[in-house]
Homo-oligomer: A and B are copies of this chain.
Amino acid sequence: MTASVSNNPKNRPPENNWRNTLYTIIFEADTPAGKLFDEVLILSILLSIIVVMLDSVSSFAAIYGDLFYTLEWIFTILFTVEYFLRLICVGRPIRYATSFFGIIDLLAILPTYLGLLLPGGRYLVVIRGLRLLRVFRVLKLAQYMGEADLLIRALRASRRKITLFLFTVLTLVVILGSLMYVIEGAESGFTSIPRSIYWAIITLTTVGYGDIVPETNLGQALASVIMIIGYSIIAVPTGIVTSEITYASKYFKGRVCQNCSFEGHDIDAKFCKRCGAKL
């Protein structure tokens, strides 16, 4: 077999025919077998999530409960086998097991086993949805990856500003929530400071369930102030992220090949993909 270019060659096992072939099928998507494997995997993940969702609807569970239960175990056993195959065929199993995707792959099979001990726990298998991220990466949806990269870059660049903003919001809701607790008291539903903070979050974020509502005049006046604060400061994270996205986009879009004036290079490209000139 000629070596296909792997995602991360360091994870590839040393020369060993069957492990190498398995690795190519499971971790890559360049061969027909690898692509088929990934497509079957996406389908299985989606189906197993749908089964669990339907199982939680009591009218469906009453009729098809046994079928759903059987299917769930079939999917779980399949994913368990897959997990061990990944462990076997990868070059450094411990590095894989402790990687972001390795942990998600494990979390995706645990809930069903957990469900044997804790009824209800098995519904957490929807965490399997996160596995789709890996498969999408393997399928190399290149343009989406470029855009995702840009967004992540923008969010990472603004992480400190966002942290400051969230810290301010948290301080605000703690102080305003406690103030409301003192003003309104238990008879309006503000039964404790944590519950009043919960109300302040509902109000500041403009969610407004209406399950707890101020009833005194002073309380309604303070609530009005909180609403207007919440309505105004949403501008801050938006401004931060917009500014970073604009900056990242400009950098991204501004890269034009000096030789052939081609635009739209990948964000990490060093050479023009059309004429090969250095960027």
Question: Which residues of A does B touch, CB under 8 Å?
Answer: 49, 52-53, 56-58, 120-121, 123-124, 126-127, 129-130, 132, 143-144, 147-148, 150-151, 154-155, 160-166, 169, 171, 174-175, 178-179, 181-182, 185-186, 191-195, 197-198, 201-211, 213, 217, 220-221, 223-224, 227-228, 230-232, 234-247, 249-250, 253
Contact = CB atoms under 8 A, between A and B. Distances in A.
Contact of A238 (B147, B186, B234): B234
B236 A239 contact: no
A198 B220 contact: yes
A236 B230 contact: no
Given A57-B192, A123-B182, A205-B206, 18 more contacts: A49-B174, A53-B194, A126-B175, A129-B174, A130-B175, A147-B160, A147-B164, A169-B228, A198-B220, A205-B230, A210-B211, A232-B237, A234-B235, A235-B241, A239-B243, A239-B244, A244-B249, A246-B246
A238 B227 contact: no
A178 B124 contact: yes
A246 to B, nearest CB: 4
A165 to B, nearest CB: 8
Copies in the complex: 4
**Residue among A120, A127, A163, A210 with the highest chain B CB neighbour number at 10 A:** A210
21 contacts: A56-B193, A57-B192, A57-B193, A58-B186, A123-B178, A126-B175, A126-B178, A129-B171, A129-B174, A162-B232, A201-B224, A210-B211, A211-B213, A231-B237, A234-B238, A235-B238, A238-B239, A238-B241, A239-B244, A242-B242, A242-B246
A14 B24 CA distance: 59
A277 B220 CA distance: 54
Contact of A147 (B161, B169, B198): B161
Contacts of A253: 247
